[in-house]
Structure 1
């Protein structure tokens, strides 16, 4: 979709916001079907990522369980020192300046669904909108997110803006092979629940780091209301993630997922940590009649 057309859509919504969107009803018989559908969708989106990265063949670890436990303990202690001394806070935390446009509707917790994949935590995310991911096993994906259901009685276009922030920290405490890398970011996926049709999906990368040396890393934070890709190759979507615009057909329920992800090829036994925290206290929605609808 061209930038000019997107501008036309957003100008139309902001100038004459009309139409009411309501929280939809989740079918009782759906069970975990929607969660499993998202898992398959996310895994499929990242299936090509490994092909863009060099596969590292490393020897199996010979360290003992006791050595492994000590290594992990030392890693977490160093991380705490790193954060406490300020080195891990090189990027100042941005204040949560809410960017809510006139005429917007507000969606707030409890959300309808919570989801995690791999090394991630979304327990209780429906209630508070908070979830996190940690570095997964080599060449796997870890992801987590929340989902909410919308519906409309008329055909509407909606500009959806997650309100909240994200924060990530990636740190290594030892030298690693130069081809080891860590990537992470955010994604959105919209599913029409009547037929499990994915009507919209996009994901971006917030960081890509490699060439790890002792106490090297990257950290950052930002507002969810304005997120964009850092411009990587591979299975990444358009440059901008939020706000995003979708069409709602009358009588349909749409399950909208907002999620975080991570990928790495750093071995499990390494002195290395990567964390991505997300907080979504509410979501603003600007709805209107699509500009080409007469």
Structure 2
């Protein structure tokens, strides 16, 4: 009969360990039909235990065990400690009806119009270097490769597919999974991203966006970190050999958290690209994990990561969390400019802990 070594028994998560005498636990057996592991102390083990009683080692859960007498059978019960989660997802009808979708639409309309005004004000002309680049791409094979890469990228963004997802789950992490509660789209953003967390949008001569939301409620004061888990992609470029100096494009991702009454709690955004003028060599294709989304750097320092989204909740609060993608393009009418963007977020991880107090 195998012996249960104390370190192994102490690490077992299915039941609490029994009092330990000496360096080795007594022999263990399971009673037929028993619902929990049973340990029977035979005469020899009991005597050995009494002789080394001075070296007794007990676990923190010793109070959950009954005192064993000679010849008794001791039942090792599962731990009954209840875990209280300060934050949980709510899908109540009242919460969903109280969505801040209209507030989001107003906010994103204002943001999008500002981006378009900025983009349409840019005017530039091709440089000698850009003209040389266009001439260098006069080879038909090279141009066909460029077109194929851009079109393949667009097809992949619009095509649903199953991809492996690696998650690092820590103790206390909660997972919010699709389907989500609300969707938002504008321009060339595709609808119903709430169904599976797939946000997809094209780039036209306008502002476009797509996103989804879910609700969190608090049973205790807590600081919260929200991170979408999945993949992100974008690509853009022109499908000819010409220089298009006035084509402008920008895009990125964002999150916004609304409290009761539609109050904005946090509203972070990240710009992932910003180009003025397009040539056959200035396109871009990016494929990264959603948690790694980082805004463009505005100087010598690295850009700021968008996720996790951090905010505080008070007991009884219900917050709506939006995650979205956006792009804006100008002066693209009549040009072979192509832009696509996609984010696949099947789950969102939520971590919560005691509020941070900086004094």
Task: Please give the range of the TM-score, normalised by the shorter of the 2 chains.
Answer: 0.7 to 0.9
Per the alignment, in what secondary structure is the counterpart of residue 36 of structure 1? helix
Match of 1:64 in 2: none
**Of residues 248, 251, 254 in structure 2, which corresponds to 1:181?**
248
State the structure with bigger RCO (CA 8 A, min sep 6), 1 or 2. Answer: 1
Are 1:173 and 1:213, in contact at CA under 8 Å, matched by a contact in 2?
no
Q: 1:145 deviation in Å?
A: 0.4
Q: Distance in 2 between matches of 1:97 and 1:273?
A: 31
> 2:215, 2:256 → 1: CA distance?
12
- The range that moved more, 198-207 or 30-39, is 30-39
Aligned to 2:176: 107
Q: Deviations over 1:67-119 (max 9, x none)?
A: xxxxxxxxxx9876235889x99xxxx97442333321111011111110111
Partner deviation per Cα, 1:177-230 (whole Å, 9 max, x = no partner)? 3232211110000011x3111111011012223431246510101111122101
**Equivalences for 1:112-127 in 2 at 5 Å?**
112-123=181-192, 125-127=193-195
**1:9-48, CA deviations, whole angstroms, 9 ceiling, x for partnerless residues?**
xxxxxxxx97431112455597596222111111223443
Given the alignment, which residue of 304, 308, 321 partners 1:239?
304
Measure the CA separation in 2 of the matches of 1:232 and 1:26. Answer: 42
1:134 pairs with one of 166, 186, 202: 202
The separation in 2 between residues aligned to 1:216 and 1:258, in whole angstroms, is 29
Does residue 163 of the first structure (1) align with residue 201 of the second (2)? no
Matches within 5 A, 1:231-270: 231-232=297-298, 239-270=304-335
Instruction: Return the index of the structure with the highest Cα Rg.
Output: 2
> Aligned in 2, Cα 1:198/1:26: closer, same or farther, shift over 3 Å?
farther
After alignment, is 195-204 or 167-176 more displaced? Answer: 167-176
Task: Provide the C-alpha distance between the structure 2 equivalents of 1:250 and 1:133, rounded to a whole number of angstroms.
Answer: 37
Q: 8 Å contact 1:155–1:248 — kept in the other structure?
A: yes
Aligned CA distance change for structure 1 residues 136 and 38 (closer, same or farther; 3 Å): farther
> Secondary structure of 1:37's match?
helix
CA distance in 2, matches of 1:25, 1:96: 25
Name the SS of the counterpart of 2:212 in structure 1. strand
**1:230 maps to 2:296:** yes
Out of 260, 263, 279, the position equivalent to 1:213 is: 279
**What is the alpha-carbon distance in structure 1 between the residues aligned to residue 188 and residue 152 of structure 2?**
27
Going from structure 1 to structure 2, the CA distance change for 1:32 and 1:269 (only over 3 Å counts) comes to: farther
Q: Aligned equivalents of 1:211 and 1:285: distance in 2?
A: 40
Question: Using a 3 Å threshold, how does the CA distance of structure 1 residues 32 and 179 change in structure 2: closer, same or farther?
Answer: farther
> Is 1:82 aligned to 2:144, yes or no?
no
Q: Structure 1 116/161 Cα, relative in aligned 2: closer, same or farther at 3 Å?
A: same
* 1:251 to partner: Cα distance: 1.6
Q: Distance in 2 between matches of 1:276 and 1:218?
A: 12
- Counterparts of 1:286 and 1:145 in 2: how far apart (Å)? 21
Determine which structure has the larger strand proportion and give its number.
Answer: 1
RMSD: 3.3
1:271 maps to which of 312, 316, 336: 336
Structure 2, unmatched stretches of 5+, are 1-82, 124-143, 157-162
Task: Determine helix, strand or coil for the equivalent of 1:45.
Answer: helix
Unaligned 5+ segments in structure 1 are 1-16, 58-76
SS of the equivalent of 2:110 reads helix
* Conserved? CA contact 1:229–1:240, under 8 Å: yes
Deviation at 1:53, TM superposition (A): 3.6
Aligned match of 2:90? 24
Q: Distance in 1 between matches of 2:204 and 2:213?
A: 22
- The Cα shift of 1:49 comes to 2.7
TM-score normalized with structure 1 length: 0.73
Asked whether 1:191 is paired with 2:264, we answer no
- Per the normalisation by structure 2, the TM-score is 0.61
